[in-house]
Structure formats: structure tokens, C-alpha cells
Amino acid sequence: MKFSKNFLFGAASAAYQIEGAWNQDGKGMSNWDEFSKIPEKTFQNTNGDVAIDHYNRYKEDIALMAEMGLESYRFSISWSRIYPQGHGEINLKGIEFYNNLIDECLKYGIVPFVTLYHWDLPLTLEKEGGWLNKRTSDAFVKYAKTCFECFGDRVKNFITFNETIVFCGHGYLSGTHPPGIVGDIKKYFQAIHNVFYSHARAVIEYKKLNQYGEIGISNVFSPAFPVNNLEDNVFAAKHANEYGTHWFYDPILLGEYPEYVINDLKRSGNLPDWTTEELSTLKTAAPLNDFMGLNYYQPTRVEKIIGNFEKIEATRENSTGSPGNPSFDGVYRSVKMDDKVYTKWDWEISPEGFLQGLNMLKERYGQIKLYITENGLGDEDPIIEGEICDVPRINFIKTHLKAVKEAISNGIHIRGYFAWSVIDLLSWLNGYKKQYGFIYVDHKNNLERKKKMSFYWYKFIIESRGEQL
Ligand code: BGP
């Protein structure tokens, strides 16, 4: 089977991780511009001040993407380039940059797939309470409308938010992303709700403009499975899916939060402070949502915690997605299993879990349009005689694309696949050491770009529409 002509083969990035130029052309400070400078917050104190300087080298990068035959490029807009203070004055230089970037994509027939919020919040807004302040929602809607109005003639695919569970979880539970708050469950749920309300409002505004494009959101997709069939562990997996999946998918796709979690939050006093207007806005927006973006890296294997649960202090090292942590409510823990395969950063490699999870989604939400908006292998790529031989990445993407193929033949509606990442970039908590790209960036040699083995492989897969996977 070949992937149909409608299926988009893409690759992704995010502004803070590639652009650099943190204070160029009128850009305001973002929360990450500040947070990454706090000693020990990031791996070897790396930050995105320069990143891979994509802001100044985008033409070269897009030309490489075109050479690879990329059909779509998912990138994010840095809010503080458009509104340096979050709201207020617009920065025309910021608009100009993204206009140029979009036009450069279109020059080669690359479909721009635009994320509005990939974690870099204007610092002024963070200081005013960030996602806990409902005025941030107003500012987001204004920013989103500006992007629709300025870019929507050429951009037909918008993603509002990237991975709400990650920036809220890291921001309010583990404290390893801005605003660096630790263990505040109430704030965690409040921030999530404010984000989803903002998403819903942006979707409604987008549809009013009749731009005949599509809008959705990208969520982490990490389906939970019990480590064995013991009743306790089966329960743990159900609990984990309610909190980690349904809480994030139901409000978008069904327009309401899952009862199971609501009941728990009522008991524990952690229910967000929401209004009936906000809840009805979620309901109104749900059917207007065009697609769901899934960021899949690994499943979660869980077991129930029996007896007392020892809280472990969150550190950068134990907050980077590897198993071993207890859930915030002490109900279950994620487990590294002997019979599974893991990356160097202890992320499980499981195309089977991907397929199984996709079937679970279909069961709960029916036929929805999906894009895989992130999937890829973080590795330290071997360099042999000057060539970047990232064979493990080829195998990773190959097996996951095969799972996508199988899912499509099972009637799951997947319209595109975006590898993370198009080019090596800054990992939020793992610096430049953890590589994901098809294109290598030489940090010892003026950030020179070099094609990896996977570059040629992906080019071939796109050309042959995955027939030989
Ligand atoms: C996702 C983010 C990306 C990217 C990716 C890889 O959660 O949306 O921005 O960072 O994960 O993560 P890491 O760099 O931690 O391996």
C-alpha cells in the first residue's frame, strides 16, 4: 500500500528550539528567555539565545527541506515576536519574519503547518500570572486573531497549543518549566482549563473568519497500559488514561471534561474555578475543531502504588519523560520493563503501543481526523568518516510509519505524519546532546548544516509514498 496523495509527509520544529535571535528585530522577552538563564534549570545551562540561528538562516533551512521533498513543515510562531509585551503594540518586524518564512515554504510547495503556542509565553504575561490569569486568555485570542488575519490567506492549518499536559505539568507540578511552581495540583488543573478555554475561543474566532482552513490542537499521546493483568494494575492504567488522556482529549473533542476526574477533583478540592460561560464555550467549539494532533513518542506502563507513596523531589533529570515517577496523586507509578526496548534517554520504543493506543482513541472518539504532529527518536548520532549514520532513527521512523499505515488500513483517519524534528535543535531540558533531526547542525563549526543518512531515506520514502515500508 502507498500512502494516498492527500497524506502529508512532514517534519516539525518549534520557535524557541530553533530560531535564536532572542532580542532581534523588536522581539520581547519570553518566559523561556528568563527561565533558561536560571542556573541548573536546563542541561549544561543551555538556552535558545542563538539556538540554531534559524531566524537568520531560514532560507537555507527551507531549501534543505525542499531538497528532502518535505510536503509540510510544522513550525511555531513566537508570540513575543508578534506582541513583544503579550498584548498592546504589534511588532511589524515579527509579522514580516513569519510572512517571509511562510512565503519561502510556499515557493517550494511546502505546506506551512503553524503552531501558535509552543510554550514560549511573553514574559510580561507570565509576570501577570501566566496561564492562571484569565486575561492571558484574552491576550491569546487577540494574538491568534492577528495570526489568522496576517497569515491565514496562505496558512490553512493552525494548531492552537502544543502539549498542554507538558507545559502545565512541568510548570505547576514538577517546576521544571516556567513558571517553576512545584506540586500545586489546583493551579495545574486551573492552568489547563484556562488553556482549553483559550483554545475554544480561538477556534470559534477562526471559524468566524471563513478562511476555509483547518484548526486543531496537538496533545501528548502516551496511552497507558498495565504492566500485567492484575486487577490493581488494570485499574492503574484506567486511572492514568482518565488523567493523562481523557482529561486532555474530551474537552476538545467532546466539549466536556471526564466525570471520573471531575468527581476526584471535587473530593480533593482541586476542581478548577470555571464559569458556565467557559464550559459552554468548550461545548460550542468542540464540533468546530477540525483535527486532533497527536505527539507520540512512547506509551506509559503503569502499576498501582500499594501502601504509602514516597514523594520524590522533581529534578531536571527525572522530569525528562523516562519512567520511574509516581503520579502526582500517588495512585500509580510508571515503570521501566525488562522486556521492552528503550532509547538512550529511557523512552520506550513501541510502535505496537502506538497502534494499540490509536485503536483505543477510535473506540472512545470514533472517526476523527488525526495528524501525527510529532514522532521521532532522540539519540546521539554516530558520525563515521564524516557521515552522520543515524540508522536507529531510520528504523524508529520506519516502524512507526508502518504502524500509521496499518492504522489507516484499520479505518483510522490519519492525514499526515510530522517527524520530530526536521533539523537538530535545542531540547528544552536536554540541550543539544539529544538529536532528533534529518539535518545535522555542527555547533563546533559555525552551525553548519549537514544532511544525515535519514535525510536521504525520508526523501525516498516520500517520493515512493511509503510503498516499501
Ligand atoms: C515534545 C515537545 C517538543 C520536543 C519533543 C522532544 O514534548 O513538543 O518540543 O522537545 O517533545 O522532547 P525532548 O527534547 O525532551 O526529548
pLDDT tens-digit series, residues 242-261: 999 999 999 999 999 999 99
- Integer Cα distance of 78 and 282 in angstroms: 25
Nearest CA to ligand 1 atom 12: 427
**Residue in the structure block whose three cell numbers are 513558571:** 179
Q: Is 163 a catalytic residue?
A: yes
Q: Which domains does the chain have, with CATH numbers?
A: 8-227+289-298+340-463 (3.20.20.80)
Q: Determine the residue type at 311.
A: K
Compute, in angstroms, the gap from residue 428 CA to the centroid of ligand 1: 7
Q: Which of 119, 222, 374 to mutate to test the pocket of ligand 1 (most atoms within 8 A of CB)?
A: 374
- Catalytic residue chosen out of the listed positions 163, 278, 303, 348: 163
Compute, in angstroms, the gap from residue 26 CA to the centroid of ligand 1: 27
Q: Answer yes or no: are the C-beta atoms of 414 and 6 closer than 8 Å.
A: no
Q: Which of 427, 429, 432 to mutate to test the pocket of ligand 1 (most atoms within 8 A of CB)?
A: 427
Starting from the edge strand earliest in sequence, which strands make up the sheet with 224-226, in order? 224-226, 300-304, 332-334
Counting as low any pLDDT under 70, the low residues of the chain are: none
Among the listed residues 1, 17, 19, the one whose alpha carbon sits nearest the alpha carbon of residue 421: 17
Compute, in angstroms, the gap from residue 397 CA to the centroid of ligand 1: 16
> In this predicted structure, what is the pLDDT of residue 437?
98
- Integer Cα distance of 162 and 220 in angstroms: 8
Residues in the chain: 469
Compute, in angstroms, the gap from residue 229 CA to the centroid of ligand 1: 31
Nearest CA to ligand 1 atom 4: 427
Q: At what angle do helices 276-285 and 185-208 cross, to 10 degrees?
A: 50
- Catalytic residue chosen out of the listed positions 71, 126, 278, 374: 374
> In this predicted structure, what is the pLDDT of residue 307?
86
Pairing of strands 300-304, 224-226: parallel
- Integer Cα distance of 292 and 450 in angstroms: 33
> In this predicted structure, what is the pLDDT of residue 308?
81
Instruction: Calculate Rg over the CA atoms of the chain.
Output: 21
Q: Is 303 a catalytic residue?
A: no
> In this predicted structure, what is the pLDDT of residue 29?
98
Compute, in angstroms, the gap from residue 140 CA to the centroid of ligand 1: 22
> In this predicted structure, what is the pLDDT of residue 16?
98
Q: Ligand 1 — pocket residues by CB below 6 A?
A: 14, 17, 162-163, 166, 295, 320, 374, 378, 420, 427-430, 434
> In this predicted structure, what is the pLDDT of residue 4?
97
